[in-house]
Structure 1
Amino acid sequence: MTLMHKFLGAAAAMALTAGAAMAEPAVIFDLGGKFDKSFNEAGFNGAERWANETGGKYLEIELQSEAQREQALRRFAEAGANPIVTMGFAMTTPIEEVAPDYPDTKFVNIDGWANLPNVQTISFAEHEGSFLAGVMAAKASKSGTVGFIGGMDIPLIRKFACGYAQGVKSVNPDATIVANMTGTTPAAWNDPVKGSELTKAQIAQGADVVYAAAGGTGVGVLQTAADEGILSIGVDSNQNHLHPGKVLTSMLKRVDVAVYNALKDGADLAPGFQNLNLAAQGVGVAMDDNNAPLVTADMTKAVDMATAGIISGEIKVENYADNESCSVLQF
Structure 2
Amino acid sequence: MKRTGMRSASLVLTLVVSLVLVLSACGKSNNNEGAASPSASSSPSESASASPSESASASPSESAAPTVDGKGKKIGMVTDLGGVNDKSFNQQAWEALEKISKDTGADVKYLESKKDADYEPNLNNFVKGGYDLTWGIGFLFADAAKKVADQNPNAKLAVIDTTVDAPNVESVTFKEHEGSFLVGVVAGLTTKTNKIGFVGGMELPVIKKFEAGFKAGVAAVNPDAVVTPNYVGDFSKPDLGKLAAATLYDAGNDIIFHAAGGSGNGVFTEAKDRFKAGNKVWVIGVDKDQSIEFGNDITLTSMMKKVDQAVYTVSQDLLSGKFQGGLANAKELGLAEGGVGLPDNNPNVSKEILDKVEEFKNKIVSGEIKVPTE
TM-score range, shorter chain: 0.7 to 0.9
Query: Which of these two proteins has the greater Rg computed from alpha carbons?
Result: 2
- Letter paired with 1:283: V
Residue matched to 2:335: 278
1:119 aligned onto 2:165: no
Once the 2 structures are TM-superposed, how far is the Cα of residue 304 of structure 1 from its aligned partner? 0.6
Alignment length (residue pairs): 293
Of residues 186, 193, 207, the one that matches 2:253 is 207
Residue matched to 2:299: 247
- Correspondences of 1:187-266 after superposition (within 5 Å): 188-228=234-274, 229-241=280-292, 242-266=294-318
Of residues 30, 37, 41, the one that matches 2:80 is 30
- Correspondences of 1:122-133 after superposition (within 5 Å): 122-133=172-183
Alpha-carbon separation, structure 2, partners of 1:92 and 1:310 = 29
SS in 2 for 1:147: strand
Identical residues among aligned pairs (%) = 36
Q: Deviations over 1:220-271 (max 9, x none)?
A: 1012123222011010111012122320111011110111112101263111
Of residues 110, 115, 121, the one that matches 1:60 is 110
Residue matched to 2:32: none
SS in 2 for 1:58: strand
Alpha-carbon separation, structure 1, partners of 2:241 and 2:186 = 22
CA, structure 1 residues 268+79, in 2 after alignment: closer, same or farther (shift >3 Å)? Answer: farther
1:313 aligned onto 2:313: no
SS in 2 for 1:252: strand
Once the 2 structures are TM-superposed, how far is the Cα of residue 167 of structure 1 from its aligned partner? 0.3
Alpha-carbon separation, structure 1, partners of 2:138 and 2:367 = 29
Alpha-carbon separation, structure 2, partners of 1:193 and 1:78 = 37
Asked if 1 retains the 8 angstrom alpha-carbon contact of 2:259 and 2:286, the reply is: yes
Once the 2 structures are TM-superposed, how far is the Cα of residue 22 of structure 1 from its aligned partner? 5.4
Alpha-carbon separation, structure 1, partners of 2:92 and 2:126 = 22
Alpha-carbon separation, structure 1, partners of 2:112 and 2:271 = 29
TM (normalized to structure 2)?
0.76
Once the 2 structures are TM-superposed, how far is the Cα of residue 67 of structure 1 from its aligned partner? 2.2
Asked if 2 retains the 8 angstrom alpha-carbon contact of 1:226 and 1:232, the reply is: no
Q: Which runs of 5+ in 2 are unaligned?
A: 1-70, 275-279
- Letter paired with 1:91: F
- Letter paired with 2:267: V
More helix by share: 2
Of residues 134, 154, 173, the one that matches 1:104 is 154
Alpha-carbon separation, structure 1, partners of 2:152 and 2:254 = 51
SS in 1 for 2:232: strand
Residue matched to 2:9: none
